[in-house]
Amino acid sequence: MTLTAPCTRQVTTDARDPRDTHCPYCALQCGMTLSGAEPVEVRPRRFPVNDGGLCQKGWTSAALLDSPARLTTPLVRVDGQLRPASWDAALDLIAARLSEIRARHGADGVAVFGGGGLTNEKAYLLGKFARVALGTSQVDYNGRFCMSSAAAAGIRAFGLDRGLPFPVTDLAGADAVLLVGANPAETMPPFTQHLRGAIQAGGLVVVDPRRTPTAERASMHLAPAPGTDLALSLGILHAVVAQGHLDESYLDKRTSGFAEAWRIVASWWPERVERVTGVSAADQRRVAARLAAARNAYVLTARGTEQHADGVNMVSGWINLALALGLPGTPGSGYGCLTGQGNGQGGREHGQKADQLPGYRKLDDPAAREHVAAVWGVSPDSLPGPGRSAYELLDALGTEAGPKAMLVFGSNVSVSAPHSGNVAERLSALDFLVVADLVLSETAALADVVLPVTQWAEEDGTMTNLEGRVLLRRKAIDPPDEVRTDLAVLAGLATRLGQPVEAFPADAEAVFTELRTASAGGAADYSGISYDRLRAGEALYWPVPGEDHPGTPRMFLDSFAHPDGRARFVPVDHTGPGEPPDAEFPLQATTGRVLQHYQSGAQTRLVAELNTVVPEAYVELHPDTAARAGLAEGDLAEITSRRGSTTARVRRVPSMRPDLVFLPFHFPGAQRANLLTNPALDPTSRMPEFKVCAVRISAKEGAR
């Protein structure tokens, strides 16, 4: 029996009424216009972050709207097979099973897992649903895998986390940009136009173990050994001080803690760092001098720096360098982190995280609990405390002490989570699994109930992009007939679980109005943002604490968010990767994205124009490394770590480090890169170490 049916829908607009909206993919949230007639067509539009440009994913995004892979009816597992069911039957079954499991195992017997692509409204209502309708502490989301280390480091240093505390267009005025662990030429191509000034001035420096398309555009490319970024930041900071470039006036007026940080940095002179990282002492000194000489300079970090077992400290090392140069909070300069997922910023602000409440409040803060509980009409004492972080939650599924049921919204964890073979086993060990998605993802295929939900052009909602600007993504077309919004799903389940209808509205604007109140007074204060202001085209960057407030495009110009108004240096030291290579596993593997695909690939693998370019997993390795393993270009290789093996097509790349292999993580089944990755967690952020693990490589037996 087929699990999908032809999409039947009505077009909300007509050909004379195109709808301005935003791309469904990365955190840049490029501006685009959708035609008002079937088939829907995408046109780029002038918007500050993309200035009329779109990448391949954006240009082809309309293909998802009528994909034959769309789910168009709820599915319920009967006799081992997923079969079509009515909405009432599916929701009644879910409510009954969740009630049964909660009665037997307690509220924490049920878990909720969200995603960084959910709108602010969905993220907010999902967190509220978990804590109020279910009463569970077991809620987290996939943003734990991609932004949590930068968030923790930003809060330590500045007292507040907003990925870019300035508009992305400010970067155009820079004559030096240090870009660490980021490859925007592939992951968010329109972003690179903002680096033109630095490129033309000879001031773009890229830190990445691979010579990526972004590194090809740089004046300097530093390729440290995987897992040694922190040592490199210490060496460059040492050079800044030794060359007399420390901004002592800035340190005196705007920071604290430099002396404590310097006690560690002092022992990391560039020659010692060279022995650890492989980056020459001369290059470290050149970078220090180039940044110090720049009129306007920025330090930017991304996943390559964060996804380590010491990722928070790695990011702190680069923040310390930026502070030493006097960059954060200085007009025309600064530090920022490039958020990855479409709503990676907003998704971590409004309550779907294990330890947070709306407004970026801490769940264990009594004042925060009292405020949010009052908005929700419940007792503060009824709110559960912090729960397990994402991987710890997934690893506990189906165990004696762990959840027995889980609801998943907007995430494909069987592909995207580290040690994904173990995660798939844990999902299969659950008594009950519910997945809400637009296609039958690899995770949805394991579920007991699958709910078909709307996607970007079929619903209203807000997103918060990488610069903290809140954007209204407007509905352009109606969804297929039997497809509902995630908000409607949560509302339907909440009422079946005994919640008042008015407590869980299904209308996006109504949910956002409640979110505004819940966020008021918090670090991420949205209380002054309204749909009317967004419809009028106002550029609103949070915090916006009142309806007459213009927003805060540039943060920290007068003071930082710590009580004393100062930024803090954090003493950090190099420790190295959690799993160094050895005789059995002599190579290191790193993972990342490619131009044609996004995240787990559940969407982009369905777009023919994208998938035909990169239809399968591949592994990049140096020709000498390939020769030692007996591998030729195009061979099928088996890459093995302590956790499992994956299969990928060989690409011999002369610019690769001989000790390193690279795999994209967008592919399912036996091609999952995350079958290899190390779930070792950062002690603060609880982010897994995706970016480095020890492996060996050989020819796939019986394949060529």
Whether 408 and 467 map to the same domain: the answer is: yes
The DSSP H or E segment spanning 699 is: strand 693-699
Least confident of 34-48, 227-241, 347-361: 34-48
Query: Is 541 part of a structural domain of the chain?
Result: no
List Cβ neighbours of 596 (8 Å cut-off, separation of 6 or more). Answer: 56, 57, 604, 610, 611, 613, 614
Q: What are phi and psi of 191, to 5 degrees?
A: -60, -30
Q: So what's the pLDDT on residue 217?
A: 97
Give me the percent of the chain exceeding a pLDDT of 70. Answer: 97
Per the omega criterion (within 30 degrees of 0), is the bond before 543 cis? Answer: yes
Residue 4 in this model has a pLDDT that exceeds 50: no
pLDDT at 13 over 80: no
pLDDT band at 564 (very low <50, low <70, confident <90, very high): very high
Average pLDDT, integer, range 237-248: 98
* pLDDT reading at 544 higher than 50: yes
Confidence band, pLDDT 50/70/90 cuts, at residue 39 = confident
Nearest to 65 by CA among 87, 27, 34: 34
Return the structure tokens found at 655. 């610019």
Q: Which residues of 355-364 are buried (b: 16+ CB within 10 A; e: fewer)?
A: bbbbbbbebe
Report the pLDDT value the prediction gives residue 12, as an integer from 0 to 100.
46
Q: Give the pLDDT band of residue 38 (cuts 50, 70, 90).
A: confident
CATH number of the domain where residue 690 is located: 2.40.40.20
In terms of domains, do 316 and 372 share one? no
If we measure between CA atoms, which residue out of 422, 418, 363, 420 comes closest to residue 396?
A: 422
Q: Please tell me whether residues 158 and 245 are part of one structural domain.
A: yes
Q: Do 383 and 261 reside in the same domain of the chain?
A: no
Residues 132 and 182 in one domain: no
* End position of a domain, from candidates 493, 518, 543: 518
- Final residue in a domain of this structure, among 337, 357, 383: 337
- Is the same domain home to 332 and 362? no
Residue 296 has a pLDDT of 98
- Asked if pLDDT for residue 6 goes beyond 80, the answer is no
Q: Is residue 38 part of a domain?
A: no
Element (H, E) at 512: helix 508-519
Count of domains forming the chain: 3
Residues 222 and 92 in one domain: no
80 part of a folded domain: yes
Helices vs strands, H then E, count in the chain? 23, 30
**Is 594 contained in some domain?**
yes
Which one is predicted more confidently, 365 or 704?
Answer: 365
* pLDDT bucket at 701, cuts 50 / 70 / 90: confident
Cβ–Cβ < 8 Å for 57, 596:
yes
Same domain (yes/no): 310, 386: no
State the CATH number of the domain containing residue 136: 3.40.50.740
* pLDDT level of residue 18 (50, 70, 90 thresholds): confident
Clarify whether residues 181 and 290 are in a common domain: yes
Residue after which a domain boundary falls, among 337, 352, 377: 337
**DSSP H stretches of helix in 4-83:** 56-59
How many CB atoms lie under 10 A from the CB of residue 198?
27
Cα(672)–Cα(660) distance, integer angstroms:
18
14 inside domain: no
Whether residue 10 is predicted with pLDDT greater than 50 in this model: the reply is no
Cα dihedral 308, 309, 312, 314 sign: negative
Q: Which residues pair with 71 in a beta bridge?
A: 4
Max Cα distance, the chain (Å): 73
Span 569-628, pLDDT tens digits: 999 999 999 999 999 999 999 999 999 999 999 999 999 999 999 999 999 999 999 999
Is residue 574 assigned to a domain? no
In a domain, 40, yes or no: no
Print the domain residue range for 256: 148-337
pLDDT score of 15: 41
Please tell me whether the overall predicted TM-score, pTM, comes out greater than 0.85 for this model. Answer: yes
Domain check: are 252 and 318 in the same one? yes
Bridging pattern class, strands 645-652 and 636-640: antiparallel
Query: At 69, is the pLDDT very low, low, confident or very high (cuts 50, 70, 90)?
Result: very high
Which pLDDT score, from 0 to 100, does residue 57 have? 96
pLDDT score of 704: 58
- 103 assigned to some structural domain: yes
Q: Which of 477, 485, 415 is nearest to 446 (CA)?
A: 415
| pLDDT band of 703, cuts 50, 70, 90 | low
Q: Looking at residues 300-311, what average pLDDT do you find?
A: 96
Tell whether 374 and 511 lie within a shared domain: yes
Give yes or no: residues 172 and 318 share one domain: yes
Q: What is the DSSP string of 632-673?
A: -TT-EEEEE-SS-EEEEEEEE-TTS-TTEEEEES---GGG-G
Indicate the pairing of strand 361-362 with strand 678-681. unpaired
